[in-house]
Structure 1
Amino acid sequence: MAEGKAEGKRSVAGKIATPKTGVTPATSSAPPMMDHLEALGKSIGARIKITTAAPHSQTYEGTLFTYCPILHIVAIDTRSASDQTISATVPQPGDYRMFPEKQIQSFQLLSRAKGGDAGHGTLATAQPAIRRVDIKRLELRAKVKIDRLKEEERDNGKGVSKEAQAIFDSLKRINVPIRWHNQEMIAHDAIIISPPYRGEDCKGSQDKQEVLNRVKRVLEGERKKLKEKDDRDRKAATPVGPRKGG
């Protein structure tokens, strides 16, 4: 009898440990939900019904927009089928919802995509229309981004103090043509600003004295602004003690 009870306990434990896949229809031989979703992902444009998992279980009906096999996310357009067929030529805005795989309890295929099974012919009829990718525009955007990152790297002084970088950034911000050469700043491709980057640390050739004087004035003005800002920040960060005498 004891052996029978032990066997019964093992049977119950096995039932509890068996996870539910949440697939409709549910069978003991059904593959995981991901396999079903990947199969469904081949029918872009099909009408489906999705039920989300507890505790906030809800049911949504819509047109399958896409399934991402990498992120395991399903996206549907919840507009009614009649709304989507009002105009076959003018793209209509969709009402899209995305569902991570783990939030899907079950789904039901209501109707196949128009234009054939397995997604054949659905890209040409998708709403909104799926247009050809402009490769040249993407390459231009990538080049602009790379150039900006290279400029940021060049503007980042190597082996300089935080104060020196702040001075450089301040001059750059007011459109002074400036670049680093080791730990020295070169302004207007003519004026050398050496550490510690004061007005008297600026040097230029004899024929660049006007530019030199202008760089000195601008540099001292920016240094003054930075000092005033540092003083305000330190004052704001200083804790105020309790007042004496109530």
Structure 2
Amino acid sequence: MADTKRNTAAGKVATPKAGGGALGAQAIGDTLEALGKAIGARIKLTTAAPYSQTYEGTLFTACPILNIVVINTRSSRTDQGANTGAQPGDYHLIPVSRVQSFQVVALASSAEGSESSFANAQPAIGPVDIKRLQQRQDERVRKLKEEAKNMGKGVTKEAQAIFDSFNRINLPIRWHNQEMIVHEAVIIAPPYRVEDCKGPKDKQETLTRVKKVLEGERRKLKEKEERERKAPAATGPRKGG
């Protein structure tokens, strides 16, 4: 029964829906799906005009990411059940959008078809740790959200530098519109000077500490600006020796 189905599939011609030119997105998807089931088989493929050409060989891959097919047209005397990826050959990369028609000449001898070629791939394709990939993705998303949360909206470069300096010394700080909230108690309003700090009466000790930190960080920023201003501008190599 299985041999009957295989013999029926071999020799079948598939003609993508195209008006003689490049395929549309839907047709490309349909063609890739059909070709994906024939990986490892021997096929005959014809490209569309104006550069129509026919290729016959072993279908190496049908890539849905790059939208290309790869055919090995070299005549090989090796066992057809052997790993096609390890065989020498003349490989042709063909955009799926240029496929006019294709015909399965002979199916892969292995019952598993394309799966067997992946199982025997060189170098070997190892298992993918999906759980680890998910963890890395979640960690990256968390980090990006944290970075976005720490970026002030519509604030000056100096204001962002002050906020970042508080973060670096691990003082709890967040943005509320254009105001900085420290320790969920002290508000630093624009333009973020010591006198712009305010807090409730029962948090005066915290307010005093925040003011001292702010004063020190603003001093460091000012000193850095002075150093950069006085630093000689970088110049290229002198011409003429």
Q: Please give the TM-score of this superposition, normalised by the length of structure 1.
A: 0.52
Paired residues for 1:46-125 under 5 Å = 46-48=41-43, 50=45, 52-54=47-49, 63-68=59-64, 73-76=67-70, 78=72, 99-107=94-102, 109=104, 111-116=106-111, 119=114, 121-125=116-120
161, 164, 172: which one pairs with 1:172? 164
How far the C-alpha of 1:138 sits from its partner, in A, is 1.3
Distance (Å, rounded) in 2 between the aligned partners of 1:225 and 1:176:
18
How far the C-alpha of 1:144 sits from its partner, in A, is 0.8
Distance (Å, rounded) in 1 between the aligned partners of 2:50 and 2:168:
57
How far the C-alpha of 1:78 sits from its partner, in A, is 5.0
**What do the CA deviations read for 1:189-242 (whole angstroms, capped 9, x no partner)?**
78642222124324684478566434323235437878999xxxxxxxxxxxxx
**What do the CA deviations read for 1:91-145 (whole angstroms, capped 9, x no partner)?**
86x9987544222244454653341375464442344434322121112112112
160, 172, 195: which one pairs with 2:190? 195
**What do the CA deviations read for 1:53-100 (whole angstroms, capped 9, x no partner)?**
4556666655422353xx792332659686x99xx89x86x9987544
Alignment length, in residue pairs? 195
Contact 2:40 2:58 in 1 (8 A): no
Structure 2: which 5+ residue stretches go unaligned? 1-17, 229-241
Which structure is richer in relative contact order (CA contacts within 8 A, separation 6 or more)?
A: 2
Change (3 A) 1:150 1:111: same
Number of the residue aligned with 1:19: 19
Distance (Å, rounded) in 2 between the aligned partners of 1:143 and 1:34:
30
Change (3 A) 1:213 1:193: same
> Percent of counterpart pairs with the same letter?
35
Secondary structure of 1:162's partner? coil
Change (3 A) 1:97 1:135: farther
Distance (Å, rounded) in 2 between the aligned partners of 1:200 and 1:188:
18
37, 45, 52: which one pairs with 2:40? 45
Q: Please give the TM-score of this superposition, normalised by the length of structure 2.
A: 0.53
Distance (Å, rounded) in 2 between the aligned partners of 1:208 and 1:153:
27
Contact 1:49 1:107 in 2 (8 A): yes
1:140 lines up with 2:135 in the alignment: yes
Number of the residue aligned with 1:162: 155
Contact 1:46 1:111 in 2 (8 A): yes
Give the RMSD, CA atoms, in angstroms.
5.0
Distance (Å, rounded) in 2 between the aligned partners of 1:170 and 1:77:
59
Give the AA of the match of 2:145. K
